[in-house]
Structure 1
Amino acid sequence: MNYRRNYLLALLIASALTGNAQTNVWPNVTKEMKPWTRWWWMGSAVDEKNIAASLKQYEHVGFGGVEITPIYGAKGFENKYIPFLSPQWLQMLKFSVDEAKAKGMGVDMNLGTGWPFGGPQVTADYAATKMIVQRYALKRKEKLAEKIVVKEAKQADARLQALRAIAPDGKQTDLMHFIAADGTLNWSPETENADIIAFFAGKTRQAVKRAAPGGEGYTLDHLDKKSVDVYLDRFNQAFAGKQPGVRAFFNDSYEVYGANWTPLFFQEFKKLKGYNLEDHLVELTDKSVQNERVARVKSDYREVMSQLLQHNFLDEFTGFAHKYNALSKNQAHGSPGNLIDLYAATDIAECETFGSSFFPIPGLRRDKEDVRNVDPDPMMFKFATSATHTHGKKYTSSETFTWLTEHFKTSLSQAKPEVEQLFLSGVNHVFYHGTTYSPEEAGYPGWLFYASVNFVPSNSFWPHLKGLNEYITRVQSVLQSTKADNEILMYWPIYDVWNNPKGLDMALKVHDVDEWLHPTAFYKQSLMLSNKGYSFDFVTDNILSNAKVVDGNISTNSNATAYKTLLIPESDLMSETTLESIISLAKNGAKIIFQSLPKDVPGLADLETRRAKFKQLITSLDFKSEGGLKRYRIGKGEIILSRDFVPALSSIVVNREELTDKGLKFTRRVENGNVYYYIVNHSKDDFNGFVKLNVQGNQVVLMDPEQGDAGEAEVNGAQVRLQIKSGQAFIVKVAKEKSALNKWRYLGQELAATKIETPWNLSFANGGPELPAARKLTTLKSWTEFGDEKANRFSGSGIYETTFNFSPKSQNEYVLDLGKVAESARVWVNGTEVGIVWGIPFEVRIGKYLKKGKNTLKIEVNNLMANRIKDLDEKGIEWRNYHEINFVNIDYKAFNAKDWKLMPSGLLGPVSIKAYQ
């Protein structure tokens, strides 16, 4: 059956019950439920007049807050730059906070400029640090002729931290007592030749990237507490004990390059691992040696680095934020550490989308020349959301739409599935990337940041942005008012990742998932579970060490929903303490499933003792074959060994949601006995039928986040009827108690379609550089096909108006199908606004607006900025003139649009009214 032809998602429900007001099922909206946006302050050249005007515009289209990040400035405005943290800058911050508060908005602040953290307070002593290793060869009885000093340029501050002689049999001699202050080595090998390893703590000399005036300087040593305290003290002095009033302080993604050391690393390593890392310089630094011992030493090194980053940086950062009654917000990806634990170290974990994903939604534009060869991976988002869920925290945020498409070519319809993918992964607090502050005097197109989708008032989709923002607000109102209802914990075997003899620090980057994530059984099993309809979060050794069993379920936090089981995918290494914790959970009533048993403990510290304990624990697992599975029953619970997770899950009654078999995706949430399903159709096919849900209640409510409508669903036992077209989303509430609601009006068979063939009057408004002449159209086509140069370069609104005769029947419903729209529309029928139609499918229900006889139809269509920018570049008009990187295209090359093809613009149709039974 052709559902696309015969069925349509019910978008509208009657507004009242006869004699009763309809229950409002949507949560009351807070500022956090609305989308926020990163607010770039170029050169911090801001003033009160333009701040107030900007925030008014942002509030009008539905933003709930801004995140201030100062960066480099625009050329020609240097006399208006305000140094970061100067009294004038702090006054602009205070004005922004007060102005936003008056509008019901919030303000977050990057605790630095550009990225990563650094600045003028970071002298060389506190700057990001790296290993510098030099090797020398000495023959028997020979003295080293040269002095042991750093040879690398610009490393005058480097400090010698270890000096070892390595004999051919591997025996080491500590030479630190034999070296003079000037670097002269007063030692020679007595019996045989020796290799000398000199180990220095040097500086990466990385500077803050995209720094704003007053924020220039070295990147911070994030691993050193004293360095972090020095960094934070600048803010303490600037704030002078006063509360800045920001909601949260923000730290961007960890892009600290080559910082694989800190001056106190040897001491910290000894405290945490119990042995001297100086004794293992060969394993740590010799690239020609790659064996198991090397991997173990480097695993310990990486684990210590992770702990230093968490305790010396993120814990300090969070403590600082709390001191000022603010939250801490951090992007952990890219860090050399356990990402989940690092995400969990702050109040709000923030992930990031970079690039665009492919969705087989018919009509969704994806031009290969306008997208990066990067696909955001939803499993990567789950590292952040899992940290939130397992710790019982409220928000997971996302830097959203970074480089979604080439500049000026991103439509609202392209943004929709990308943000939906975040919601499905558990994100519930979206930040756009981004909005650049721009003063009125900057003119068109205003100041713009090089890596953003430009969510700015000069963008021609701005008048329709409220449609996307209201959709996000409704979805987030549910996601923020509920808790994640994931049944499974999936163990992340971080030690398998760290146990690699290659390299040194291991930065787990978004762009390197093909190396450290995709090849693993952990990833493959997670993908399988997701596709089959299971709900899960990732869990770490640290989280498991604090987990408890409550009523047979695993509780990771008293504020989190408990989990029914723990899955351990195939992995080689597991610490004996984690294995012991897992067995203890089973003994206390938990159900644990191993894909295979781990083989050994990680690291080198106290290896044989830990191995003996590990072997003892493994040997204690006396599995018995039962029902096609191997089971070990212990205490109140059990441990199952199964290569295939699915039958094992079924055996302990952890059931999948079968709706994924229909091509639908979902995330499930709970609140006060009510269960919410956020369901999205990203497949190529429409869906019309019944789906089985694993949860039942006294009422099932369908909620449309695009239009805000709601109604009682048709159910058949545990099955719920859905009509959801490709590209659309629903929220299904399985309610604990019944409430007064209309029945959801499902649409039946399509009866007829009436094509609008009357002439259209087209006029132009709200754009530039010039308004094309008004015209009458007998056929709908792109503005770029008029043969009118003004229309070719125009970006803004085209107003289409027509009249037509119609005879609606009361028993039918009618849907306006706009056909192809380039790129978004607002619709009026008979003078009444129906709504903004901004995403695929470009359809809206209009039955209650139609009347018998003459009807009027008005459609405001907005195109994108591309054609106007092309015109500017063709004419050589300079509009991009910034310091540092200036303005680049999606491939990070100089931006120029003069050779672009004109983008289709306007209402392309065909426009028709479809009648449904």
Structure 2
Amino acid sequence: MFFPKQLWFLLVTAAYLFGGTLPLLAQNQSASPLSSGWPTVKKENRPWTRWWWMGSAVDEKNISHLLAQYAEAGLGGVEIAPIYGAVGYENRYLPYLSPEWMRMLQFTVQKANSLGMGVDMTQGTGWPFGGPQITPEFAAAKLIIQDYTLPAGQQIPGTLQPKDFKEQLATWQAVTAYGPNGEVLDLSDQVDLQGKLNWTPPTGTWRIYVAFVGRTGQKVKRAAPGGEGFTLDHLSGTAVEAYFNRFNLAFKQNNLGFRAFYNDSYEVYGADWSPEFFEEFEARRGYDLRHYLRELVSSEKTAVVARLKADYRETMGEMLLENFTIPWSNWAHQRNSITKNQAHGSPGNLLDLYAAVDIPEGETFGSSYFPLPGLRRDSADVRNVDPDPIMLKFASSGGHAAGKNLISSETFTWLGEHFKTAFSQGKPEVEQLFLAGINHVFYHGVTYSPEDVPWPGWLFYASLNLTPANSLWPHFSGINTYITRVQGVLQTGKPDNEIALYWPIYDNYHQPEGREKLFTVHAINEWLQPTAFYKQTKNLIKMGYSLDFVSDKMLAQAQASKNDIRINFVVRHQVLVVPQATYMPLSTLEKMVNLAKAGATIIVEQLPQEVPGLHHLLHRQKQFQELKHSLTFTEVGKGLKQCKIGTGQILLASALPPALELAGIFREKLTDTGLKFIRRELPTGKYYYLVNHTAKAVDTRIPLNTPAQAVVILDPQSGQVGLAAITSTPDQTLAKVQLAAGESLILKTSTLPLPQVPAWEYLGPAATSVSLPGEWYLHFTQGGPALPADHKFKKLYSWTELPDKKAVNFSGTGTYTTTFTMPAKKAGEYLLDLGQVKESARVWVNDQEVGVLWSIPFRARVGKYLKIGTNTITVEVANLMANRIRYLDQQKIEWRKYHEINFVNINYKPFDAADWQPMPSGLLGPVTITFHETTASVK
């Protein structure tokens, strides 16, 4: 078909008559290699994926075939995670760490390396760490405290043992008696070898508390064959050593060439004890916990109970760090490997735990709300707690403090219901990761599936199911190329965050309720979001400040000079901010004062009130108050009080912006446009990664808090590079940017001129968009269960509404084609807008590939592909797997049959798609072309 001449005349003429602009559009994601100006691509720049080995039923042929497909799609590596297997394939299972399993691991590494990919592996099967080598004595432990009321002259009958018959593995550890007049007696030495307490109260009625070390009984979840067994006691160095012994035998001193051992999130439930806990507690806290058994199980909300439990929780965290995390990393380093760890969920300081490994890893679970026009978010996909970028900053902050360049994330876990999640939904979610400091994405994930397993192959129960059987797979390279470009930038240079924000963990520890305190992703609405720390973090980021979190341990290692605070001599911040905190160790307050003496600026919302814990409390309280009173503050205006110490200062400020301004710290005002950002520091400039998650386009000059002679725009969707139009002062640069809702850009500032880089082409005034008239021809190319017949559209609509019923059940790709006549071509740019796409598109104009349009907005610059005369546009659209899965369930065709959890929906109920409505599919349009004037200027 063709455009009527009158229509093209109106289109071209309107470009000159109508004002306004359209934002920069994405194009050509996969048609060309990364443009000059981008960092050289390494495998770490590409997204990696968790690779589930179901039953470890793997072989060389399928490993080779699948890895080649992964590499072709743009994946940079795999993370092997052995889990439960598929029913009926038991004869293919390989026992974990058996000689044949190890041979497959080595073959995988060799094949991956030949394809330029990397390999990590979880140091276990399923999660958490555990297995057959964990006998009951090394299994996750819990504290059982049993109390007795004992009148004078009586004894506890029989031997000391738990009343619950299920706790037969429990053994007693301590006995404490509390008398009617406040007496506290340790009776542990009154228990004989048989476990009989040989003690009688002299007078009055006494309460006897007996502490037992029990076992939680938790076993490895989703274990693979050969990996079944109890969960490890992570707090015990002896148990951890026993766990490693199995790997010593399998690996010896050789890592077989793979990169990292991996540990999933800490999901050890009820494990609040370890056999060595009493001794560790006394060595660390300075008093005997046996004397406080009553308070440890008390539900009273007293100061003593809260302080005791704070000491208890701090001890747990230190034991996890020093008995598991650090020894684990040391063990891996001895075998030329590194460690990758998800610390969240742990009963300890997340910042210190993340900092102790080589690659800290966060996690997103569920989906977030973004106000992007046309972005689908099904109500069934909404979880109780949305993914939170502030939670992700614990991982990036820990990594930054320890000088780690790679910060990873388990990405897209339960982003949506099985088979209903599109790449367009993943884009803002992964961008939220990048903005939080993540720069090494791991998809969750891809399941190994042999070629002879019928469609949809083997699938994991909680996954985005990014397998070659996924109907979106032909366009997978689109999102992968985007992530590769962004990660290449975010892995370059150093983090550039001016604020170190103190995390007052002792306020979390000082809670009288319960005993164990787990800092989990799923409960951030309880332990994180209600806190002043969280609210201040959110406010600072929204205002345009960049920050990292710091712990007490990190501050203890900090050094300072004027306008410079360095953690471990590595990461640099300009100021330390302390949000409202009730409790702070005396040593931390002393360190803050010493940092100020050395030249640092410390900004405190309010001075902390108390020291944490119970030991030598009066003495420590006295020292704490004396130190606070030694700080003399004077009013300096704007609600600020200043205490000058040495060459630095402590500022007391209920409102932070005036204090930050006084310290010479200025916000990035670009956030006033609604844009979000993260910066990286380079030797001759900075990288700014900008994202528009608002509902409106941004077309303006944005201020950057850095001087520059040049600013280069890098479009991570198209790969295009060009010099931005700027004006610069000694302190600030104004750079012109154009971003539609849902788009992103990277700005690279330079203190040097860059004459070799061409100017960026900005889109000028635009005519009203005009729909392409005429017919579209649809031909289905690949997918199933059967290819529908070809169809001719006079008006585009979902192919599920076609009269051919095969189309309702179809998941795969269909190619749309139309032609039109272009009577003239003006200088400027023509923009193709596909309208609604369900769910991803690859576009050709006149047989030249424009690229994969996989996200909102589905637009591309196509001027260079158009010609005078007849033009052909071809759009290959891939839909979701949902409609084909619906068909299988309606026909009761068995496609899921697995051991263990089998297959569940997003609410962990048995999965059944039979009642689903068909998901709209194909090119829905309207498809438009708009002409724009362009300007190319660096002034």
TM range (shorter): over 0.9
Please tell me whether the aligned partners of residues 688 and 747 of structure 2 are also in contact (alpha carbons under 8 angstroms): yes
- Deviation track 1:862-896 (CA, whole Å, cap 9, x = no partner) reads 00000000000000000010001000000000000
From 535, 543, 564, give the equivalent of 1:524: 535
Instruction: Encode CA deviations 1:365-386: one digit per residue, 9 max, x unaligned.
Output: 1111234343001100000000
Aligned to 1:489: 500
Paired position in structure 2 for 1:891: 907
Cα offsets for 1:654-704 (capped at 9, x unmatched): 000111111110001111122010000000111111111111211011110
**For 1:23-48, what per-residue CA distance to the aligned partner results, in whole angstroms no more than 9, with x for missing partners?**
82100010000000000000000000
State the Cα deviation string for residues 783-812 of structure 1 (Å, max 9, x = none): 111122110011011101111011343322
Aligned ranges 1:69-218 → 2 under 5 Å: 69-218=81-230
Q: Give the 3-state SS of the residue equivalent to 2:464 in structure 1.
A: coil
Deviation sequence 1:237-294 (CA, Å, 0-9, x none): 011333321100000000000000000011111111111011111111123x320011
Which residue, out of 834, 840, 843, partners 1:827? 843
Find the aligned partners of 2:157 and 2:589 in 1 and give their Cα distance.
53
- Counterpart residue type for residue 10 of structure 1: L
Judge conservation of contact 2:126–2:224 (CA < 8 Å) in 1: yes
Q: Please state if 1:869 is matched with 2:901.
A: no
Fraction of identical pairs, as percent: 53
Q: Secondary structure at the match of 1:385?
A: helix
Residue type of the alignment partner of 2:367: S
Mapped pair 1:415 → 2:426:
yes
Counterpart of 1:659, as a letter, is L
Partner of 1:433 in structure 2? Answer: 444
CA distance in 2, matches of 1:173, 1:591: 50
Match of 1:771 in 2: 787
Question: Is the aligned partner of 1:731 residue 2:746?
Answer: yes
The match for 2:3 is: none
- Give the drift of 1:776: 1.5
Decide which of 731, 735, 754 is 1:720's aligned counterpart.
735
Aligned match of 1:9: 23
1:912 aligns with 2:928: yes
Residue 855 of structure 1 pairs with residue 867 of structure 2:
no
Q: Distance in 1 between matches of 2:122 and 2:205?
A: 55
Q: Deviations over 1:479-528 (max 9, x none)?
A: 00121100001100011110111111101111111111111111111010
- Report the Cα distance in structure 2 between the residues aligned to 1:443 and 1:12, rounded to whole angstroms: 37
Q: Which residue pairs with 2:594 in the alignment? A: 584
CA-CA distance at 1:211 after TM superposition: 0.3
Indicate which of 626, 631, 641 corresponds to 1:621. 631
Q: Does 1:255 align with 2:271?
A: no
CA contact (8 A) 2:26 2:717 kept: no
Shift of 1:436: 0.3
Secondary structure (helix, strand or coil) at the match of 2:753 reads: coil
Cα pair distance change 1:615/1:412, threshold 3 Å: same
2:379 is aligned with 1:365: no
CA contact (8 A) 1:43 1:212 kept: yes
In 2, Cα distance between the equivalents of 1:892 and 1:157? 32
Distance 2:510 2:383 in 1: 32
Distance 1:459 1:247, change over 3 A: same
Q: Secondary structure at the match of 1:136?
A: strand
Q: Is the 8 A contact 2:186 2:290 kept in 1?
A: no
- Paired residues in the alignment total 906
Alignment check: 8 A CA contact 1:830 1:856 kept: yes
Cα distance in 1 between the residues matched to 2:314 and 2:851: 54
Which blocks of at least 5 consecutive residues in structure 1 are unaligned?
16-21
Matched position secondary structure for 2:554: helix
Q: Partners in 2 of 1:572 and 1:374 — Cα distance?
A: 27
Amino acid at match of 2:276: L
Structure 1 match to 2:577: 567
Q: Per-residue displacement from partner, 1:414-461 (whole Å, max 9, x unpaired)?
A: 000000000000000000000000001111001000111011000011
Matches within 5 A, 1:675-694: 675-694=686-705
Point out which structure has higher relative CO (alpha carbons under 8 A, 6+ apart). 2
Letter in 1 for 2:51: W
Query: Which amino acid counterpart does residue 914 of structure 2 have in structure 1?
Result: K
TM-score, normalised to structure 1, is 0.97
Per the alignment, residue 784 of structure 1 pairs with 800
> Which digits, 9 at most, give the CA deviation of each residue in 1:626-669, with x for residues without a partner?
12310000110000001001111111110001111111100011
| Kept in 2: contact 1:371–1:890 (CA 8 A) | no
1:273: which partner in 2? Answer: 285
CA distance in 2, matches of 1:149, 1:356: 47
Q: Distance in 2 between matches of 1:679 and 1:828?
A: 28
Within the alignment, does 1:382 sit opposite 2:382 as a pair? no
The answer to whether the 8 A contact 1:393-1:559 is kept is no
CA contact (8 A) 1:13 1:709 kept: no
Q: Distance in 2 between matches of 1:529 and 1:546?
A: 25
Say yes or no: does 1:26 pair with 2:38.
yes
| Map 1:297-308 → 2, pairs under 5 A | 297-308=308-319
| 1:708 counterpart residue number | 719
Q: 1:726 is aligned with what amino acid?
A: A
Cα distance change, pair 14–764 in 1 and its aligned pair in 2 (3 A): closer
DSSP-derived class of the 2:800 partner: helix
* Distance in structure 1 (CA, Å) of the matches to 2:292 and 2:371: 53
Paired AA for residue 489 in structure 1: A
Provide the residue aligned with 2:460 in structure 1.
449
CA distance in 1, matches of 2:378, 2:585: 48
Q: Which runs of 5+ in 2 are unaligned?
A: 1-17, 934-939
Q: Counterpart amino acid of 1:727?
A: G
SS of match in other structure, 1:514: helix
Distance in 1 of aligned mates of 2:849 and 2:28? 16
**Match of 2:762?**
746
Q: Does the residue aligned with 2:762 lie in a helix, a strand or coil?
A: coil
Q: Distance in 1 between matches of 2:423 and 2:869?
A: 35
| Shift, 1:464, TM fit | 0.5
Counterpart for residue 316 of structure 1 = 327
Displacement of 1:851 = 0.4
Cα distance between partner residues in 1 of 2:138 and 2:557: 34
Q: Which residue does the alignment assign to 1:696? A: 707
Supply the distance in 2 between the matched residues of 1:667 and 1:616 (Cα, whole angstroms): 41
Matched, 1:335 2:346: yes
- Residue number in structure 1 paired with 2:936: none
Q: Is the 8 A contact 2:35 2:721 kept in 1?
A: no
- Who is 2:810 aligned against? 794
Aligned positions of 1:607-618 closer than 5 A: 607-618=617-628
| CA distance, structure 1, for counterparts of residue 183 and residue 470 of structure 2 | 68
Change (3 A) 1:803 1:448: same
- In structure 2, relative to structure 1, the CA distance for the partners of 1:799 and 1:736 (3 Å cut) is same
- Alpha-carbon distance in 2 for matches of 1:93, 1:677: 40
Most deviating of 807-816 and 818-827: 807-816
Q: What residue in structure 2 maps to residue 285 of structure 1?
A: 297
Answer yes or no: is 1:665 the counterpart of 2:681: no
Correspondence 1:815 to 2:826: no
Mapped partners of 1:291, 1:269: distance in 2: 21
**Which amino acid in the other structure matches residue 293 of structure 1?**
V
Aligned equivalent of 1:18: none
Corresponding position: 1:392 with 2:408:
no
Q: If the length of structure 2 is used for normalisation, what is the TM-score?
A: 0.95
How far apart are 1:223 and its partner, in Å? 0.3
Q: In the alignment, what sits opposite 1:467?
A: 478
Please give the residue correspondences for 1:241-252 in structure 2 after superposition, counting only pairs within 5 Å.
241-252=253-264
> Could you tell me how far 1:14 is from its partner in structure 2?
13
- The answer to whether the Cα contact below 8 Å between 1:13 and 1:744 also exists between their aligned partners in 2 is no
Q: Identify the residue that residue 12 of structure 2 maps to in structure 1.
A: none
Structure 2 CA distance, aligned partners of 1:434 and 1:546? Answer: 38
- 2:854 and 2:161 map into 1 onto residues whose CA distance is 64
Asked if residue 240 in structure 1 is aligned to residue 256 in structure 2, the reply is no
Asked if structure 2 preserves the Cα contact closer than 8 Å seen for 1:59 and 1:103, the reply is yes
